[in-house]
Amino acid sequence: MFDVVIAGARVLDPETGRDESLNVGIAGTAIAVLSASPLQGARVLEGSGLVLAPGFIDIHTHEDLQETPGRSFEMPRETAACALRTGNTTILGGNCGGSNYPVGKYLEAQNAEHLPINCLTLVGNSTLRKVLGLDEYATAGPSQIAAMKDLACAALDEGAQGISFGLQYAPGTSFAELLALCEAVREKDKFFAVHMRYDTPLRAVETVEEVISAALITGAALQISHYAANVYGHADGAAKNGGGNIDITARLIEESGADIRADVYPYDTWATGIRSAVFDQGFEDFNFNVTDLELLSGPLAGRYCTQELFDSLRHAPQETAVACHNAIPMKDIEAAYRLPFVCLGSDASMSLSADGHRKGHPRGAGSPARFLQEFVREKKILSLMEGIRKLTLIPARRLGLGRKGRLQEGMDADLCLFDPGTITDRAAYGMDVCALAPAGIRAVIVGGKVAYEGSDPADR
């Protein structure tokens, strides 16, 4: 008698390539048995016609952007809740240079929250800079860099999975600072994740070369964040719709011999704060214009920018989140997903406003569903097994999670049961609709417990 049995699902294991209809028995927190024979369970989920995969692992989220008044740490409650409903069982926050801090105290507080999925964190370089009193434009001197490295080592010892950088958000970060923190990462056998310094076609090769160099010089493992959002178009800037920069930089990455992976979110729209340094340079070299910016928060949410609105919000006391539509050519997203070192990372942050509305980019609620729907089923860029590998095994290996991302006996019972024929992202741009759960996710199991069951009548 097992605690939970999933009966007759098509079991996909991205490590062994196993793809067959089986019964899966869960005991406690582990996958106990994969069997062709019927199994008895205290709880039985009918799996016929459905796919059972390892639970999805999202290596790029932003739990750090949560707004939770009255608490010293910002808990990723909404981000985790939305992630669960789209099949994620583990997410990694603290990306792009910003994290909760101190890491040990944060993880302790998070433990007491009983979040529905596993929430891991990086420690952010920009956060460490703030601890030392450096703003985003300041260059750290040698003693400040040494102090930063000590803080980073302490955070890694306290449980951070690695160090994140937001080089575009903190342009004062020097190459020497990057190298010092990469050394900390290498010494502790962790990895560094980088939101790279530039995101215009003219500087794509240069910006990737900087992070490859840091990985090569220090021997640290690297995760390039939202690769296609920084690297797209052509090096000569002439063609706005080619895969040129992706092809060139992928070759540099593969030929470097360094331990480098990358994540890509399945949307052509990115989002950030309108006051951030991203917009310091103006728009000439970008793929979009000021009128492509849609406001995602504040009293004018839903409106598109004009130059006047942009200028006033840039200097407003409150930050406004904006979505930049049509910013990433779809051909480049497709080219990136074809690369073996690329996995999915949503770049999600979902939060609750003071008056109870959910705010964020729809990628926070729909990324794996959108990926399986659009890039696997509709466009056939990847086979279902390759798609599952990018959602599970590749991020598990980067995070050093040996018992996750594998659907085998003895592994963690983190699982996603879904219908590959109907899985559909339903989240949209705007308040509350950004958090809509996808169709086609039948059940999500976290640590051996059924943590979510799709409630849509169309899913039953």
Residues binding Zn ion (CB under 5 A): 96, 195
Q: How far is the CB of 96 from Zn ion (least distance, A)?
A: 3
Question: For residue 189, what are its two tokens?
Answer: 């056998």
Question: By C-beta, is 104 or 273 nearer to Zn ion?
Answer: 273
Distance CA 336, CA 63 (A): 25
Question: By C-beta, is 122 or 212 nearer to Zn ion?
Answer: 122
Q: How far is the CB of 3 from Zn ion (least distance, A)?
A: 39
Residues 258, 103, 83, 231: what is their CA dihedral angle, to the nearest 10 degrees? -30
**3-class SS shares of the chain: helix, strand, coil, % to 5:** 35, 25, 45
Q: How far is the CB of 440 from Zn ion (least distance, A)?
A: 28
End-to-end CA distance of the chain: 26
Q: The tokens 């890039």 sit on which residue?
A: 375
Question: By C-beta, is 4 or 278 nearer to Zn ion?
Answer: 278
Question: Under a CB-based contact definition with an 8 Å cutoff, are residues 356 and 69 in contact?
Answer: no
Question: Under a CB-based contact definition with an 8 Å cutoff, are residues 2 and 34 in contact?
Answer: no
Question: For residue 14, what are its two tokens?
Answer: 């991205």
Q: How would you list the strands of the sheet with 123-124, edge to edge?
A: 123-124, 162-166, 191-195, 221-224, 260-264, 342-344
Q: How far is the CB of 225 from Zn ion (least distance, A)?
A: 5
Q: What letter represents residue 457's amino acid?
A: P
Question: By C-beta, is 41 or 97 nearer to Zn ion?
Answer: 97
Q: How far is the CB of 204 from Zn ion (least distance, A)?
A: 15
Q: How far is the CB of 60 from Zn ion (least distance, A)?
A: 8
The alpha carbon of residue 87 and the mean position of all alpha carbons in its chain are separated, in whole angstroms, by 13
Question: By C-beta, is 39 or 96 nearer to Zn ion?
Answer: 96
Question: By C-beta, is 367 or 373 nearer to Zn ion?
Answer: 367
Q: How far is the CB of 226 from Zn ion (least distance, A)?
A: 6
**Alpha-carbon separation of residue 60 from 2, 128, 225, 252, 299 (angstroms):** 34, 19, 7, 23, 28
Q: How far is the CB of 265 from Zn ion (least distance, A)?
A: 10
Question: By C-beta, is 126 or 424 nearer to Zn ion?
Answer: 126
Determine how β-strand 270-273 pairs with β-strand 321-324.
antiparallel
Question: By C-beta, is 51 or 65 nearer to Zn ion?
Answer: 65
